[in-house]
Copies of this chain bind each other. A is one copy, B any other.
């Protein structure tokens, strides 16, 4: 919202895009819609006046109708089990004739083909650039910048909590101390299991395989080892041998047309393009028939994810104008 506001002049002058906020919804505030426009500043925390009794939308469909939404941004938290309720929100948006932009990975893992077909049928966009590497160009890059390549596989570091934790362990901290440190700097959540057990990274691997490699892999098909078993002694021994522990995401096509995918702590030599990535920096190396390509996003902040949503917004609105 802040970034949308900050880029308002650019959007208007460079892309001819004007926008207003006509709906906000969250567990805390419920379904708030006002087709005439809501105050974006209020959306940032000051709250909205309550709708008169009995007039507030009661579900996503009523809310989309009341908001007369042209674009939905879906940014609820990940449900890795079934991708809900985000998938239903995105479907409702597309069915109502709005573009659907998701920062949530769940719907891709659980309903990519369906959402894609629905978007196509409705001539709307279903975009999700920010799901894997914030604002760094991944999904928008492939069809446009890398047409007709054969993507054979990829390797990457896609989870910042584990990357921060492993870096702190290299400084001599235990796993628990390193987690506490990551929580203090605002990288790790109160319950960091999703990160430490490799779930977040595995979901990202599944998203990449499904979308970029065209193989409808299931989350449980991604081999997954977290970093809880890595000891400070192992990290220190690796460092002494000129290596570093990283939680590596990996996928490669198999000879039977499938994909073998994994998330696993691995020791890398310092010369490896993945080894020098510190803190929240993420990296993906693509192995293609024409050349190898690495994309690094350096120490992204909150603005990077917001930018991924903004860039999808511009692509959706501009291409459909």
Interface residues of A (CB under 8 A from B): 3, 7, 10-11, 14-15, 134-137, 140-141, 144-149, 270-271, 273, 276, 285, 290-301, 303-304, 307, 310-311, 314-315, 318
Minimum CB distance partner of A271 in chain B: B276
Copies per complex?
Answer: 2
Are A298 and B290 interface neighbours, CB within 8 A?
Answer: no
Q: Which of B135, B147, B292, B315 contacts A299 (CB 8 A)?
A: B292
- Min CB gap A112→B, angstroms: 19
Are A291 and B134 interface neighbours, CB within 8 A?
Answer: yes
Are A311 and B146 interface neighbours, CB within 8 A?
Answer: yes
Bound state CA distance, A304 and B291, in angstroms?
A: 6
Q: Which of B135, B290, B296 contacts A296 (CB 8 A)?
A: B296
Are B303 and A298 interface neighbours, CB within 8 A?
Answer: no
Are A307 and B149 interface neighbours, CB within 8 A?
Answer: yes
Q: Which of B145, B146, B291 contacts A298 (CB 8 A)?
A: B291
Are B141 and A137 interface neighbours, CB within 8 A?
Answer: yes
Are B270 and A290 interface neighbours, CB within 8 A?
Answer: no
Bound state CA distance, A285 and B301, in angstroms?
A: 17
- Min CB gap A273→B, angstroms: 6
Are B273 and A135 interface neighbours, CB within 8 A?
Answer: no
Q: What are 16 A-B pairs at a CB distance below 8 A?
A: A15-B147, A134-B291, A136-B291, A140-B145, A141-B141, A141-B145, A144-B144, A145-B145, A147-B314, A148-B310, A271-B276, A273-B298, A291-B299, A291-B300, A294-B294, A296-B296
Q: Which of B3, B148, B271, B303 contacts A7 (CB 8 A)?
A: B148
Are A137 and B135 interface neighbours, CB within 8 A?
Answer: no
Contacts of A298 in B (CB 8 A): 273, 285, 291-294
Minimum CB distance partner of A295 in chain B: B295
